C-alpha cells in the first residue's frame, strides 16, 4: 500500500514530485496558445481560429475572456480627452453667453440646484 502524504476531505492529495510534462495536457497548450494570441491583439479571430484548429466560433468563443485591461480600454472610448473637454466647455460657454440675463439666471439656478 502506498504511503498517503495528505488527506483533504475525502480526497487523497499526492505530493510526489512529477515531471511537468506529465501534468500538462495538450489541451492546456492549445488553450494557452489561443488565449495568448487573443491577448496580444495582433491577429484577427479568424486567423487565430485557423491556427488553433477551431471549426466554429462558438467553440472559439470559450477562449475569449474579458480582463481588467479590456475594461479600462473600453472606458477610454467614452471618456473625453482634454482637447474634446475644453472644446465642449467653450461651446457651452458660447451658447450660455447668447442667452438673455433672465435666462442666464434660470440656468445658473438650475445648475446650482442640481449640484446640491
Residue entry with cell 486567423: 47
For 70-95, the pLDDT digits (tens) are: 777 777 766 666 566 678 788 888 98
Please give the backbone phi and psi of residue 12, each rounded to the nearest 5 degrees, phi first.
-95, 125
Q: Are 63 and 34 in contact (CB under 8 A)?
A: yes
Q: How far apart are CA 105 and CA 59, in angstroms?
A: 61
Q: What is the pTM of this model?
A: 0.43
Q: How far apart are CA 27 and CA 52, in angstroms?
A: 11
Average pLDDT taken over every residue of the chain: 80
Amino acid at each position: 500500500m502506498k504511503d498517503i502524504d495528505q488527506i483533504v476531505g475525502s480526497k487523497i492529495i499526492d505530493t510526489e514530485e512529477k515531471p511537468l510534462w506529465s501534468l500538462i495536457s495538450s489541451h492546456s497548450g492549445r488553450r494557452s496558445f489561443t488565449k495568448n494570441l487573443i491577448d496580444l491583439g495582433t491577429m484577427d479571430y479568424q486567423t487565430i481560429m485557423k491556427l488553433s484548429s477551431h471549426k466554429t466560433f462558438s467553440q472559439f468563443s470559450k477562449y475569449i475572456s474579458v480582463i481588467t485591461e479590456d475594461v479600462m480600454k473600453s472606458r477610454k472610448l467614452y471618456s473625453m480627452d482634454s482637447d474634446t473637454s475644453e472644446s465642449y466647455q467653450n461651446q457651452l460657454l458660447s451658447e450660455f453667453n447668447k442667452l438673455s440675463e433672465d435666462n442666464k439666471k434660470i440656468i445658473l439656478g438650475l445648475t446650482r440646484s442640481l449640484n446640491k
